[in-house]
Amino acid sequence: MRSFSLILLLAIVVSCSEKQRLEVVKFDALENIIEAPSDKVEVINFWATWCKPCIAEIPYFQQLHQNNSSVNVTLVSLDFADEFHQKVIPFVETKGITADIILLDNIDYNSWIDKVDPSWSGAIPATLVINHQTGKRKFVEKELQEGEIESIIKELTD
């Protein structure tokens, strides 16, 4: 009985941790990912379904999510909130993305861009990597090539 409860508990924990986050959020939810202490390296990528260079680099983030359990990947969609079901969810399903997806519903961009990183112009794609353990972070405003995100993660670990 005891072992059964343990298995049940384990199953719940595993299913919870593996459940993909797929929702429309306000800025505080993103701020929480940026600021809350975490054992995992937070990789936060800003993208949109209409942004070609963003879509080109998304497979690298999906691979990272699948291959590296010490990293938490969040893909922040900047599509419009009322297009979440029409554009974002079909995109996620077609591409088989299992990393967390949050659509940031705040069109008053100037009110929050600097809070992500003061060096950000607002152009996408852009990626923020935070290692809460070492206290290091890096923000890049460009399309990443294969292997680049892994190099950044390594850079913040040393």
Partner 1 sequence: MQTLKVLLFVSILLFPFNGERLDGLGVGDKAADFNLKNVDGRIVSLETNEAAKGYILVFTCNTCPYANMYEDRIIELHNKYADQGFPVLAIQPNDTNKSPGDSYENMQARAKEKSYAFPYVIDETQETTKTYGATNTPHVYVLNKVSKNNFRIEYIGAIDNNSRNADAASKHYVEEAVENLISGADIPTKSTKAIGCQIKWGD
Nearer to partner 1 (CB atom), residue 59 or residue 122: 122
Residues across the chain: 158
Contact residue for partner 1 among 51, 64, 75, 128 (CB under 8 A): 51
**131: left (phi > 0), else alpha (psi -120 to 50), else beta?**
beta
Preceding peptide of 59 cis, ω within 30°: no
Listing DSSP states for 137-151 in one string gives EEEE-SPPPTTHHHH
Kindly state whether residue 90 participates in binding partner 1, applying the rule CB under 8 A. no
Contact residue for partner 1 among 10, 50, 66, 90 (CB under 8 A): 50
The three-state secondary structure class of 127 is strand
Residues with Cβ within 8 Å of residue 114, at least 6 apart in sequence: 120
Q: Which helix (H) or strand (E) holds 116?
A: helix 113-116
Contact residue for partner 1 among 68, 137, 139, 141 (CB under 8 A): 141
Give me the 107-136 binding string for partner 1, x by CB under 8 A, dash otherwise: xxxxx-xx-----xxxxxx-----------
- From the CB of 139, what's the least distance to partner 1, in Å? 13
Stretch that binds partner 1, among 36-44, 49-57, 61-69, 130-138 (CB under 8 A): 49-57
Nearer to partner 1 (CB atom), residue 40 or residue 141: 141
- From the CB of 111, what's the least distance to partner 1, in Å? 8
Pairwise CA distance, residues 78 & 102, whole Å:
9
Roughly how many angstroms between the first and final C-alpha of the chain, as a whole number?
A: 45
Q: Which two tokens stand for residue 44?
A: 């936060």
Nearer to partner 1 (CB atom), residue 9 or residue 123: 123
Interaction site with partner 1 (CB under 8 A):
48, 50-51, 53, 78, 80, 107-111, 113-114, 120-125, 141-143
